[in-house]
Amino acid sequence: MSDGGQKRDSGRGREEEPEEQVDTDAETEASAKDLIDDVDDLLDEIDDVLEENAEEFVRGYVQKGGQ
């Protein structure tokens, strides 16, 4: 998942300064690994905070109508 603002900035950078796009393979791999680690951390956290009895909770979640 990417931060929208950062994403746009990197997009702009690519258009204006294509010569800077000479990342080494090692750098690219490292940042890809960071990204995966970050998603792993996030999913760990989601597992921690997610309602424990998901099945029961989801089934019991019934709302009265509204507008």
Partner 1 sequence: MATPKYVGVETEYGIAVDGPTEVNPVLASSLVVGAYRDPGDRDVGWDHTDEHPLRDARGYEAPDPHEPVVDDELGLANTVLTNGARFYVDHAHPEYATPECSNARDLVIWDKAGERILEDAAARAAGTLPAGSRVLVHKNNTDGKGAAYGTHENYLVPREVPFGHLTRQLLPFFVSRLLYVGAGRLGSELSDEVPFQLSQRADFFEVEVGLETTLKRPLMNTRDEPHADPDRYRRLHVINGDANLCEVATFLKVGTMLLILDLIEDGALPAVPALAEPVTAFHEVSHDLTGTRPLRLEDGSTATALEIQRRYLEACQRYVKDRDRDLDPVTAEVLERWEAVLATADDDPRGLAGQVDWATKLELLESYRVRHDLDWTADQLKMVDLQYHDVRRDKGLYHRLAARGRIERLVDEAEIIAATERPPVDTRAWFRGECIRRFRRSIVAAGWDSLIFDVGGEALQRVPMMEPGRGTREAVGDLLDSVADPQELLRRLTA
Q: Which parts of this chain interact with partner 1 (CB under 8 A)?
A: 1-5, 7-8, 38-39, 41-43, 45-46, 49-51, 54-55, 57-67
Which one, 21 or 63, has the nearer CB to partner 1? 63
With H, G, I as helix, E, B as strand and everything else as coil, classify residue 30.
helix
For residue 49, what are the CA distances in angstroms to 9, 16, 39, 52? 32, 42, 15, 8
Which one, 21 or 24, has the nearer CB to partner 1? 21
With H, G, I as helix, E, B as strand and everything else as coil, classify residue 43.
helix
Q: Cβ 24 to partner 1, closest distance in Å?
A: 25
